[in-house]
């Protein structure tokens, strides 16, 4: 198939690697010529350009630019698409994105691969990033059925685990397991660096090991992505933050009032619950 990828960064470049591997011809469109050159040299695309005309033969297009630029990216390419071209996106928030992009292009299906790294850009793109990872499609009642089938077939070729959800259910679920963890982890790092005793701060930096590496990682990654998910998934994220504040206050009260058995019980419940979310 002739497939276009707009935004040759971590996600766009990684999609390119796997789709070329599956035998597709990949047309890359990116903002900077340097990114196009890297993508061609690394083998993430068959050809690439900064000119949207490159997409005029694409049957399917993946929009892989930042959430706040997706509508602008689609508007830029629309004059160059065939009327039957199917467009999908990879944005980490779905309800506002689907509403806007679907109004611009009827053959649109929202999507979100649940895969990534702390790095950004074409040089961070990698093979098999999506293998065995969830990939959510978020069609609604107005979504064209042929478009859903086409995107579904390509997601299966990525060897990803395919899920379907409404855009708003997607946003509420990822607020819990992706967006809240980013903000909680960011709060952890912001708190640590407030330690006013320089000797203690310096010692803490030297002693930080795997526990701190795990808990600080997601809040110290791509700042633009963190800002975008907070901005575009604000309502769902605030609800999860409210619940988190309540839970944290409860834990604090247990500690303050020496309720060690209750604290241990809560931690035991968490130990039982975690495998239901991750292995």
Residues that bind ligand NAP (CB under 6 A): 7-12, 30-32, 35, 64-67, 69, 73, 90-92, 112-113, 116, 120-121, 225
d(CA 110, CA 155) in angstroms, rounded, equals 12
Cβ proximity to ligand NAP, 15 vs 86, nearer residue: 15
- 52 near 29, Cβ under 8 Å? yes
Cβ proximity to ligand NAP, 73 vs 143, nearer residue: 73
The strand pair at 134-137 and 111-113 is best described as antiparallel
Shortest distance, position 220 Cβ to ligand NAP, whole Å: 13
Shortest distance, position 107 Cβ to ligand NAP, whole Å: 19
Strands (DSSP E) contained in the chain are: 2-6, 25-29, 47-49, 60-63, 86-89, 108-109, 111-113, 134-137, 161-164
Kindly provide the b/e burial profile for residues 187-206, where b requires at least 16 CB atoms within 10 angstroms of the residue's own CB.
eeeeeeeeeeeeeeeeeeee
Cβ proximity to ligand NAP, 34 vs 205, nearer residue: 34
Cβ proximity to ligand NAP, 159 vs 250, nearer residue: 159
Cβ proximity to ligand NAP, 35 vs 88, nearer residue: 35
Shortest distance, position 22 Cβ to ligand NAP, whole Å: 20
d(CA 166, CA 133) in angstroms, rounded, equals 19
Cβ proximity to ligand NAP, 73 vs 138, nearer residue: 73
CA dihedral 176, 182, 188, 189 (to 10 degrees): 180
Residue 162 pairs in a beta bridge with 135
Residue nearest to ligand NAP according to CB distances in the complex: 9
Cβ proximity to ligand NAP, 224 vs 269, nearer residue: 224
d(CA 235, CA 171) in angstroms, rounded, equals 9
Strands (DSSP E) contained in 138-271 are: 161-164
Shortest distance, position 9 Cβ to ligand NAP, whole Å: 2
Shortest distance, position 118 Cβ to ligand NAP, whole Å: 8
Shortest distance, position 89 Cβ to ligand NAP, whole Å: 7
d(CA 13, CA 126) in angstroms, rounded, equals 7
Taking phi over 0 as left and psi of -120 to 50 as alpha, with beta for the rest, 23 belongs to left
Shortest distance, position 21 Cβ to ligand NAP, whole Å: 18
Shortest distance, position 31 Cβ to ligand NAP, whole Å: 4
| Residue 210: burial class (beta carbons within 10 Å; 0-12, 13-18, 19+) | exposed
| Residue 122: burial class (beta carbons within 10 Å; 0-12, 13-18, 19+) | buried
Cβ proximity to ligand NAP, 45 vs 86, nearer residue: 45
């Amino acid at each position: 198939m002739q497939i276009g990828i707009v935004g040759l960064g971590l996600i766009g470049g990684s999609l390119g690697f796997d789709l070329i591997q599956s035998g597709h011809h990949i047309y890359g469109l990116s903002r900077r010529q340097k990114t196009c050159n890297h993508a061609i040299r690394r083998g993430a695309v068959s050809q690439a350009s900064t000119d949207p005309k490159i997409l005029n033969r694409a049957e399917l297009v993946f929009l892989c630019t930042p959430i706040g630029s997706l509508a602008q990216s689609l508007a830029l390419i629309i004059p160059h698409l065939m009327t039957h071209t199917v467009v999908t996106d990879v944005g980490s928030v779905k309800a506002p994105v689907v509403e806007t992009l679907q109004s611009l292009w009827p053959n649109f299906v929202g999507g979100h691969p649940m895969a990534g790294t702390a790095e950004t850009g074409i040089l961070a793109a990698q093979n098999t990033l999506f293998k065995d990872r969830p990939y959510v499609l978020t069609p609604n009642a107005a979504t064209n059925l042929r478009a859903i089938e086409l995107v579904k077939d390509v997601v299966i070729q990525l060897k990803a685990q395919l899920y379907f959800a409404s855009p708003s259910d997607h946003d509420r679920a990822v607020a819990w397991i992706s967006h809240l963890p980013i903000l909680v982890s960011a709060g952890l790092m912001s708190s640590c660096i407030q330690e006013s005793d320089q000797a203690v701060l310096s010692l803490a930096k030297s002693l930080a090991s795997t526990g701190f590496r795990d808990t600080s990682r997601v809040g110290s990654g791509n700042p633009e992505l963190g800002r975008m998910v907070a901005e575009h998934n604000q309502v769902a994220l605030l609800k999860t933050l409210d619940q988190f504040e309540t839970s944290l206050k409860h834990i604090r009260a247990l500690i303050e009032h020496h309720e060690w058995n209750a604290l241990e019980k809560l931690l035991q419940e968490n130990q039982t619950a975690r495998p239901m979310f991750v292995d």
